[in-house]
Structure 1
Amino acid sequence: MTVRFVALLFLAAVAPSAAILDPGDFLALQAIRKALDDVPGSRFFSSWDFTADPCGFSGVRCAGDRVVALSLGEPRAGSPASPAASTPPQSRRPSPSTIAELTNLQFLALSRNFLSGVIPPAMGSLVRLRTLDLSFNQLSGSVPHELAAMPTLSNLVLAHNHLSGELPAFSSPALVRLDLKHNNLNGVISALPPSLEYLSLTWNRLSGTVEWLLPQLRRLNHLDLSVNHLTGPIPPPPEGAVTIPTVDLSYNQLSGAIPPALATAKRLYLNNNRFTGEVPAAFVEKLLNATIQTLYLQHNFLTGMELSPAAEMPVSSSLCLQYNCMVPPPAKMTCPPKAGSRRSGPPPSVPSGADKTRI
């Protein structure tokens, strides 16, 4: 109680004309600062002078007397603007338990630092949090179930870490973006909320089928499940059930026929799977009228594609059919430079601030 009272008097003295920061948030920021160091060449924390108003610190944003945003990494997905917004990585090992004391946080970005260890379940106590970005760190362990059930969380970015274990059942009704690419996650893809618009689980070790996923996630505009161990067919979804602009299911073990409903995608990557049968006629129509911009079907077991020899492929469309059980039709194909045994594919469009690297 004494420490909180001293902090309150101190803030009143240094910032009489500004809103007085909540004493608990003030002490939490002090603890965070003591746990962090600037990396060589960075002066990110030069503004963290506690004789001034903490709401003016680099990476800190307040609403009234509470801290609502903390960005100690590269700004992503709406990070608060600050003088240090374009600096290199700034911090090392901030204490998650201390951060959890900032109970009014709505935005937390700690990407591109040197964070290690597990993600503490206590993060789930930040019930007002809307964006959590811990990408490009060295975090291990599983994705806490507490994160998957946060009521207001809309953006969860944990890409490029060393996370393992099975995916929790995501039930957050506000979740719009889920980015877990480049980890070591395994098991099946379980429940996902229908609110999702962006889903990237590429470069993991996920298995099982995806037959339920396409019809249920009606709001998706980006789906990337490539480079996993997914198996089984994709059942023909009802007409109009799939309207996802970018679908990447490449480098799995998916089999069966290609559903015509996938022809609604603008960029479709089905290469390096076990699909059989003929390419649906809907794909030919969409390619010729330039509705499909990219169609990669190489390295499957497809047996035919009805395309007139006189047909002219629009310059804006890319088609690759190499390494199938058919003679490719006499149409100009635009295959990636490495359409052989090496992984290949251009980076599809992703939302601003998102990262996408393919080889």
Structure 2
Amino acid sequence: MDSAHERPVRWGILATGGIATAFTEDLRRTPGAVVAAVASRDAGTARAFAARHAIPRAHGSWRDLADDPDVDVVYVATPHGYHHQAVEMLLDAGRPVLCEKPLTVNSAQARGLITLARERGTFLMEAMWMLLNPALRKAADLLADGAIGEVRSLHAELGWRAEVDRWHRLRDVAAGGGALLDVGVYPVALAQFLLGSPDRVHARAQLTPEGVDEHTSILLGHPGGATASLTCSFAATLSQAAVVYGTRGRIDIPVNLFNPPGIVLHREVGEPVHFPAPAVIGHGYGLEAAEVMRCLLAGQSESPLVPLDGTLAVLRTLDAVRQLIGLRYPHDDHD
């Protein structure tokens, strides 16, 4: 990679759905980023996306994007079930990758991709924008400093009522559907970011006729005695909030726990203290794009803020939850 002063970082977009659109729009607002190409398995879809977003090149196959010499890094925005195939192909071609969460549908797939990336020395990061939110990083600092004493519990819930038919990706087992991987990954990642990996996992869920979870409740036990009570759903609209309780206070994440505008510290004595995050620019994906570019320009193959070992640890927890609730994907049989 050349330095930021010599030329910008050129992005390729793999897939053309809603999240790809939002990310592409935010790249336009991210200093040093240029959207150079887009790919879809349908050439017409790729050309239409390129025309809407003024992207110079449209590829009718993922392979063509992987082989494009004028692309520095690729953002993968396919449904979960296709992440492994796309990322593996890109890493094989030596392309740095930012992949939407979850990185894969299970930990075996993720472990293989992480091993491949490390062997090749090629950059890989999960697009877990939550871990880059300044307010949540402040919450982690406050907990580490003992601001609320010893942590006893964390409660977090995320979900919306989604009235979708059986063909939608949320209900599609082959696409990695279900509430757990779509939104549950956020409260699980939050719990592990703030409390560490659990040593006990309990879960219950309601499954759809297609066999994916539409509402799941999780209880995690962490070393030291703290617990995390988590809920995810596409059958009900939840609060989207989280709270961490300690022996001498609490920290509230009052809204949008995946990208909150701020947190509130409540101590036993004194007024609440608000810690706002900087205003979101666009949809809020610029922070993760900026972190990827910072790493690439610094010659780093992993982000210290969104570490691959952390990504893998979260997927291990999600695997344990899926085993408890009886949610299996076709991919599980081939890993």
Normalising by structure 2, we get a TM-score of: 0.31
The structure number with the bigger radius of gyration is 1
Higher helix share: 2
